[in-house]
A and B are shown apart, each in its own frame.
Chain A
Amino acid sequence: MSKLNGIKLHHNKNTRDCETADFPLPRSVVIPMSQHMGAPCKCIVKKGDTVAVGQKIGDTDAFMSAPVHSSVSGTVTDIEQFLLANGAVCEAAVIETDGLQTVCPDITVPEITDKQSLIAAVRESGLTGLGGAGFPTHIKLNFDAVKTPIDTLVINAAECEPYITSDYRELMESSSDIIEGILLVQKYCGIPLCKVCIEDNKPDAIKLMQQKTADIKSIDIVTLPSSYPQGAEKVIIFSATNRIVAEGELPANQGVMVMNVSTVASIYRYTQNGMPLVERRITIDGNAVTKNAGNYFVPIGTRVSELLAYCGAEGAKKVLYGGPMMGICLYDTDQPVVKNNNAILAFKEGKLPETTACIRCGRCVRTCPLNLMPVLIESAYNAEDIEDLKRLKVTLCMNCGCCSYACPAHRPLAEINQLAKAMIPRK
């Protein structure tokens, strides 16, 4: 087996040639204290405080967490309980901007001398994975070099979701930052080889990266076929290294670390200017966008409604954080842009076709990259047969959505898999 199952999608990379522009500074931002997997931060500013760009406004002692910084200069007008798009409630700081964007005086360029100082610096930068799940980056770097030595750093630049081009723009606009970031991680974490994985629908980026790394032996540019979900962690590891991350294992068990391309570039930038993660590149697109579709540097905490207004997408029926395959629906556009958002997509139509009866065509089985059998998982779920769900390994499902996409009966298989996972009692 050399290739995992998957599906071919329309790429819709309409914004690929849109150079990243600065998004106009919003009048106010709302910055949630929980923006990623892991423990939420505690807000360390209070109502009425004046804050500056890059100032830390939330932190925690929990290891599995990254601090939160202000993306604007201005005044904290409120600390509110905020309902996140994923349904969780957390604290959020509402900050009214003063338009000056005064930089916080505490900002200093970190001094990096070894792995521990790199990890400490990355934690201070508040960096989380910029590609999707938003795993705090310093935790990834803090692997145990004795128990799970890592020999390959896989840089995920597959960007297999339709519409999104923010990683592509990173490749085109900041290739030097990416390469410097890779060399930095390789040097301090002792990872001999790096594979930068780019889908073949981005030939310009592949060429550019090949040119720039021609003299660097430790960095390989790998061209992967454009197939969804090429950028999923297990899939890209398999495609790049032929290794299989088994059930219950982390990529480190296979000697691999996967990092998103924008994340690795951000590490380098932080080591140069000491500015924490306060803005990020976002693709705004979708068929409800009537003007200004493109890529923008958006301050974290900018409300999505501002993005939609700027792009003439007020008529949208469905607005997504992220791509059409794995993105999360916003129920309220007052939700802010957070660290792991790589795109805001606005669509005119919301509903998918009606669900009909399963015809046992097997398409869901044939498209699942992990060889799961969603059709059987659905019956086991309906029968509440937990033993069978375990046997069918539903816990492996990564919710990539290939099965639901391919199903001619339009059954919500990926969703059922998540519900089925929840049915299995945790040990």
Chain B
Amino acid sequence: MKGLFVSPSPHRSSNASTARIMLMVIISLVPAAAAGCVFFGPRAALVLAMCIACCIIFEALCRIVMKREQTVGDLSAVVTGLLLGMNLPATVPFYIPVIGSFVAIVVIKQLFGGIGQNFANPAIAARIVLMLSFTGQMSGWVKPYWYTSVVDAETSATPLAASWLNYTENGAAYKMAPFTLSEMFFGETGGCIGETCAAALIVGGLFLIFTKIISPATPLAFIGSFALLTLLYTGSAVETVYGVLAGGLLIGAFFMATDYATTPLTMWGKIIFGIGCGLITFIIRSFGSYPEGVSFSILLMNLLTPYIDRLTKTLPLGAKKPVKGGNA
């Protein structure tokens, strides 16, 4: 008998696939996205849908134009679109999702070679570009359930813009925060579509940890270091909890600082990455002129990732001398 199929071992593969992993990430994001749609209304849903659709279209077009194999099927563009949308306020004009998706998919992801090759998290980079270029449009915070009100959209402060800056000037000012801790936990606050509902984000994050899609190292190091620094600085546990629940910290720690392509490979690398993010977030929030530091911290650490990878190579079993240097 001839004509047998010949290939090198192993002859089995696990049922893991990129699309399956991306699908799990999408599932984990659904609760927080859904909460955002409930709080911020149909417009939020529309923004999310636009981001996802634009990311898919840009990804498909890029691959066609670049004459590369089609990769929309791996669902990574959906994840990017969803994350981008969740990082936008519900009130953004409709050209924002289009521009954001273009930056994320075309500029950050595909021009650098597509999935796995980008140096920065596409959704984060796009959010930062949008924040810097369309500061006004990107700060149209509204109160939850604003869409049910007959009056014109009432603007609202995000917990960070309202309380965080206050207490940096006045240590005891957290009581002035316009939201209660329970509102913060369940997300009935102002903010980006997907970042407000801490409960949903934690559920999604735990789902990813238990299904072994992400390692708990990054979120623990990120949230832990931020919380510790805040606690030391403010001396107030309540402040600390506010700080952790506010802004993009949870969505950043669970979903963006754990992006495979732009974060370190090994456990120690992930811990260093997480601590770096926590530290930078703390510094920006406490001393910087921007109320929000999560996106910048992740972007900065993304840039450091190749160096962290180089420093945290594993030590092979029985290797005669430690592995140092080299091109990561």
Contact = CB atoms under 8 A, between A and B. Distances in A.
Query: How many residues of A sit at the interface, in one of the four size bands?
Result: 35 or more
Nearest to B320: A247
Given A9-B12, A396-B319, A414-B9, A372 B314 contact: yes
Interface string A320-348: 10001111111111000000000000010
A418 B11 CA distance: 16
A325 B10 contact: yes
A408 B16 contact: yes
A80 B5 CA distance: 25
Given A234-B318, A373-B314, A329 B323 contact: no
Contacts of B266: 362, 365
A375 B117 CA distance: 13
A228 to B, nearest CB: 10
Given A365-B314, A391-B326, A375 B265 contact: yes
A158 B226 CA distance: 47
Contact of A406 (B11, B14, B328): B14
B175 interface: no
Interface in A386-427: 387-388, 391-393, 396, 399, 401, 404-410, 412, 414-415, 418
A7 B9 contact: no
Interface string B1-42: 110111111111110111011000000000000000000000
A417 to B, nearest CB: 10
Given A325-B12, A329-B7, A408-B20, A360 B315 contact: no
Given A330-B4, A359-B261, A360-B261, A385 B327 contact: yes
A234 B316 CA distance: 12
A84 B121 CA distance: 50
A165 B134 CA distance: 66
A246 B318 contact: yes
A376 interface: yes
Contacts, number: 181
Contact of B323 (A244, A383, A393): A393
Contacts of B324: 391
Contacts of A409: 17-18, 116
A240 to B, nearest CB: 15
Contact of B260 (A324, A361, A379, A401): A361
Interface stretch (A25-33, A90-98, A144-152, A310-318): A310-318
Nearest to A317: B5
Nearest to B325: A391
A357 interface: yes
A116 to B, nearest CB: 32
B264 to A, nearest CB: 8
Contacts of B65: none
A352 interface: yes
A244 B318 CA distance: 6
Interface in A235-281: 238, 244-249
Contacts of A399: 9
A407 B21 CA distance: 11
Nearest to B114: A357
Contacts of B74: 356
A248 B4 contact: no
B317 A4 contact: yes
A162 interface: yes
Which of A7, A9, A249, A401 counts the most B-chain CB atoms under 10 A from its CB?
A401
Given A358-B116, A359-B115, A388 B326 contact: yes
Contact of B13 (A314, A358, A371, A405): A405
B161 to A, nearest CB: 35
A350 B5 contact: yes
Interface string B69-106: 00100101000000000000000000000000000000
Which of B8, B115, B313 counts the most A-chain CB atoms under 10 A from its CB?
B8
A351 B314 CA distance: 32
Contacts of B115: 356-357, 359
Contact of B18 (A325, A332, A359): A359
Interface in A122-147: none
Interface string B292-328: 0000000000000000010001111111100111111
B13 A318 contact: no
Contacts of A325: 9-12
Contacts of B315: 371
Nearest to A345: B11
11 contacts: A246-B320, A305-B1, A329-B11, A352-B13, A360-B261, A373-B265, A373-B313, A373-B314, A380-B327, A392-B323, A401-B10
Interface of A: 4, 7, 9, 162, 234, 238, 244-249, 305, 308, 314, 316-320, 324-333, 347, 350-353, 356-363, 365, 369-373, 375-376, 379-380, 383, 385, 387-388, 391-393, 396, 399, 401, 404-410, 412, 414-415, 418
